[in-house]
Structure 1
């Protein structure tokens, strides 16, 4: 699993596009009628308040996301209920947004195309973007946001030039008092679109010092004081949230279930010295059998990688260096994988790796004996990890600068 980092500018463009979203299509503040501009102005300030509140929440436990924060503050049971409501809420919101855009396109652009086809196309596009990851979405947002802003600027200019802007239409101002404007600001705008920004608190955590990261000079440092980080993997047992795997654990999980595409691993080669390997191909085969009531799992993992960087005082022109690095990489990866497996056996007591399914396919007669108590049996499973790392080539063009 790759660590997904996005820059502050990319986060800003995501926020801008998220807030615009369907608000451009359905409009906001229309309930205030002629005073809609006042409601939007007040709602904007309320939106800043909502955003600051979310920032305040995340800064209390800056390394945790919203679900983990809830669990820390109010306990697991209440967190499960809030998490369920959160998921249902955004499923509803997503459905409404797809419907809004579908109706717009079906009525104004493609009237002969069924709205079901348009909605399905939107859904497939969203699924593909989710599959590619948040970094791809952030880069795409960063590229297209200037064009979106340019479009709105030109639209504003052309409206004024065309003579279709009539400022007298805002009169009479507050003819029904402040109540309609305030009601629209508090009841609608604070929830749509500003309140929906809570979605960012689930995926984003802050790595480093949040206070120093809030300074614009943060981005001038070679190593910023704070980064926006997107990682972790949720662990569920049926419909109950049991916990989270950190980035390293999620990466180990992907290796074990043979779904890793590429990643970078740091391997120690001395005191406070490391070298990095970039794995670009990984294949895992799982075999399982039941011996005297104890599951025996064998993982055969073969990876291809290249050297991506190092701090070690080793000569990269020597083949012995690569043999040494391969062995150290195998030892490190084996340790990482075994640690994650032990964590699932001892802490969560859950088989998230599909070992039970492997036993079901390969030793069904014995699996039937432990089928109804597999989670308990899994805790005593013996897992053998056989991993081989092949460093195909070096991603480093020169020798280490540490060498004299």
Structure 2
């Protein structure tokens, strides 16, 4: 490619200069003839590759000048492979009748050659040519504007949010997790979760979901790309959009000093509130964790489960209970003598697990701030303080919770069916 580019540039320069001699080296203008000859020599010597002896003795008439220019064009097309030496290539109009015509003919020949070898477009030709009609310029400008708008439109659609084929999976999550270096936070929260018999003790680290469930790739078997290539493309796009969100959110501090519950008669959850605050004071009073969630949801709008109730409520689950009343009783007990915990969040995590029983591990680490980086871990790595195996009590609590949820879903479904049957019977009575 380097050789071809330099050769074309040298040959084109020689060809244009040859055509320019038609007007520059006319009798009575010897000083311009000297400049043209010197420039042609310098171009030939400065090129990395010789362009051959294209210069001929000065023609003796206007007709000779025309023939010389046409022959130069023919030889150049042969050298560039645009025609064979056996073709005549005689497509030129009759010899011009004036110096101006000679000049215009030479410039037109050079322009046509540029278009032929791809160094300029027809729109460039129209806008740069002498005497171009206004409607021709407007047409080219309209075409260029449409082309630019099309390109910008595609760029924006790709830039707004993640749009690679994918589906939501409960085996993937974007979470805030205390960094492994925050050992005191890990020890205290782990102890409380054990005391409260958290069914998720083995599967989940101490965390606050930002986007859950998150995305996994959908592979196209009919695609020419292999499954591996599709996976690489998916990861690259994930990294780009995670970084776009992370770079707009500076590292922040997190304090755990309050608790809450939610649930009802058949379910209760005890949670800790991760209050977040920027390290450097800011004019806006939005907590950085809320800001991070908003930025991530902009990149992955399909992952909006954290706003099912209309607003984002970050929380770190401590344990699950059979009723909310039991969760409230545990809350009172935990709050007694609780000492505030803090850690600095300079990164967040993409977590992944294998199957419903698997432990969530670090699939990617995403740093916060303008220099945000995304580091994938293949295979995913566990948090150092997480248990290596699921203890018996944890499994028992998890199975009991799963059974409660299953029975609760059955009651919900049967209740809905009963209401539907009553409505159907009432409608039939009204019809009769």
Structure number with higher relative contact order (C-alpha < 8 Å, ≥ 6 residues apart): 1
- Give TM class, smaller chain: under 0.3
Q: Normalized per residue, which structure has more helix?
A: 1
Larger radius of gyration: 2
TM-score by length of 2: 0.20
